[in-house]
Chain A
């Protein structure tokens, strides 16, 4: 019934969804990391820059070059009256080893005072961060209530992210669940771009800061963040799609996101990278893969397994459930052991080893190449009348046939050959099997396709009467080449097989042999402008104009004869207004013809018409009364 149909449809959709799991499309490779580090390692300009550089580099797992100098710089540049400056200093100094400072009571009071409902979320964030960085005691519960109160008033994404970061500095004994719930709300505010990227409309920097803050807080409280696996991958794609880091704050945010995604307690995206193109052949039978995290750091404590390998063309499963072996930095699998036929294969590979892995099942398209061999090459001239037996010559690749072959009105030229896989002996059908005939004198070349028959034997026959248009009936000696090519062949072939003398019937030969040059100027096209319609001579039109006015004359005469007059004309105001209005309307028609457009005319007509109508109404009513 319909219910069964619905269930079937739902399960099918689910299957489809599982089958198309999202794969990471972007990561930080070695070059990106180098660029990121270059930006972060610029000399410090102020405390904020120092903070970005030091904390950013530590997220990447890199220490600042000269920690002592950095420490001195911060101590000399910090502004003890600004909560923000103190925050940067405190967090940076926490990362540097051996960088200590004593905090005066005034500074401490300043920081504690900033943690209140009257400060903005940013100020609370900076104050809590500074207190935590300096190791000063902090009343977590009060800070939390101030933060929650403030957050209900400030709805911006950045404020919420800063609240997440603030909560990660507070004690775990406080009930941070209301802040943790904000993660889910923020995820709902992300924009999905084409199903591949997920980012805030505020930009990638904000998205990266969100990822860093969400995982920091989740690690702190020990609950898994409410971000689904596909969403993590989409966030990854968005954040690491930015390869140019113009500002320090941008570089900082991306570095922190990278650090968060490579080291947190819940979600670890893995990236499977083949070594070079994913292709194997007899010379290179091993498929080599590297498994890295988002920062291109190698993960070797994992197990990589081939779930199944299916041929793309025949859909047959060639291999199942085979583990890869670790050799140095690479995971290897010898695919040629199963002697696969050449072509493309879909590999389903899974990486296991940690419950936190996500994006650990990928599909990889692997190409198996081979070498082709040409065998049983027979060149023959076949008599059209079938009276003489065909003369066949066998040629072996790469030699050229001795002597030349003729093709004219009595004889056809024929070629047959077979293509085999050198390593397996199986017959091959490559994508490109061409026979090229090159006229030695004129440089003309004609290319034909050789087709295989049912037994996979390639045949080509040249009939001069059928093919004379392709050759432009140019007789002469042609060199015959055989061209074999395919994406899965390692040895494409261009073989000069023989010379063929082709003679076309004389009456069709062109007097001069013209090479078809496509790139000469073509004959110019003369544009024919639309000719104006023929007009009658002016005399005729003028005559007609006069003629057309003659009935008017007749009308006037008739009216006089009948006795139409205006003796009943009453000079009442409405009558005058009516006649004037009417005359004005007629005049408007003339002006419309010469100058105005419809809208303007309608406007004036409405005015005049209204006046005329009212006056006319009055006048006719009076007339009716008089009658």
Chain B
């Protein structure tokens, strides 16, 4: 854990915190569904997919921003990665809001 704390850039750590938040939220939603029931199933799906989708997009952003991976993403600057992240999130949440009911 200390290796993580030392070796990772601040930006990445902030992103990781965000990813942790999304993960916890998704897990809680899933736990609720298991425990209490699927009554507004569409709402559950919508929230869960929002969590999962955001997590995935966040991971993508993290991979693209990480300086250690610079070799593999020659054409994509961190700014471009961030813009893609925002764009994809917009579309994802458009669908999510449509579905949440």
* Chain A residues in the interface with B (C-beta under 8 A): 533-536, 540-541, 544, 547-548, 551-552, 554-555, 558-559, 562-564, 582, 585, 589, 592-593, 598, 601, 605, 609, 616-617, 620-621, 623-624
Contacts and interface: CB of A to CB of B under 8 A. Distances in A.
Interface in B1-55: 10, 13-14, 17-18, 20-21, 24-25, 28-29, 32, 36-37, 39
> Majority SS of interface residues in chain A?
helix
B90 interface: yes
Most buried by B among A598, A620, A621: A620
Contacts of A585: 90
Contacts of B74: none
Given A563-B10, A601-B94, A551 B39 contact: no
Contact of A589 (B13, B29, B36, B97): B97
Given A533-B39, A589-B94, A624 B21 contact: no
Contacts of B10: 562-564
Contacts of B93: 589
Contacts of A624: 77, 79
Most buried by A among B20, B21, B77, B93: B21
Contacts of B77: 624
Contacts of A533: 39
A547 B24 CA distance: 10
Interface string B90-101: 100110011010
B88 interface: no
Contacts of B17: 555, 558-559, 562, 564
B20 A555 contact: yes
A554 B90 CA distance: 24
A598 B25 contact: no
28 contacts: A533-B39, A534-B37, A534-B39, A536-B39, A544-B28, A544-B32, A548-B25, A548-B29, A548-B32, A551-B20, A551-B24, A551-B25, A554-B21, A554-B24, A555-B17, A555-B20, A555-B21, A562-B14, A562-B17, A563-B10, A564-B10, A585-B90, A589-B94, A593-B97, A601-B94, A616-B86, A620-B82, A623-B79
A589 to B, nearest CB: 5
Contacts of A589: 93-94, 97
B83 interface: yes
A76 B94 CA distance: 87
Nearest to A547: B28
Nearest to A605: B94
Contacts of A534: 37, 39
Nearest to B38: A533
Given A562-B17, A564-B17, A592-B94, 16 more contacts: A534-B39, A547-B28, A548-B29, A548-B32, A552-B21, A554-B21, A554-B24, A558-B17, A562-B13, A564-B10, A585-B90, A592-B98, A593-B97, A617-B83, A620-B80, A620-B82
Contact of B100 (A536, A564, A593, A609): A593
B79 A544 contact: no
Contacts of B39: 533-536
Nearest to B100: A593
B1 to A, nearest CB: 13
Nearest to A625: B79
Contacts of A563: 10
B28 A564 contact: no
A527 B98 CA distance: 34
B98 A620 contact: no
A616 B93 CA distance: 19
Contacts of B18: 555
Contacts of A621: 79
A311 to B, nearest CB: 71
Interface residues of B, number: 27
Contacts of A558: 17, 20-21
Contacts of A593: 97, 100
A598 B91 CA distance: 12
A601 B90 CA distance: 12
Contacts of B80: 620
A-B pairs with lowest CB-CB distance, top 4: A620-B79, A555-B21, A558-B17, A551-B24
A550 to B, nearest CB: 8
Nearest to B11: A564
A555 B19 CA distance: 9
A552 B82 CA distance: 21
A580 to B, nearest CB: 14
Contacts of B14: 559, 562, 564
Given A551-B21, A554-B21, A609-B90, A536 B37 contact: yes
A563 B8 CA distance: 13
A177 B21 CA distance: 97
Contacts of B13: 562
A540 B36 contact: yes
Interface string B57-87: 0000000000000000000010110110010
Contacts of B32: 544, 548
A563 B12 CA distance: 12
Nearest to B25: A551
Contact of A536 (B21, B36, B79, B94): B36
A582 B82 CA distance: 13
Nearest to A598: B98
Nearest to B47: A548
A593 B18 CA distance: 24
Contacts of B20: 551, 554-555, 558
Contacts of B25: 548, 551-552
B8 to A, nearest CB: 10
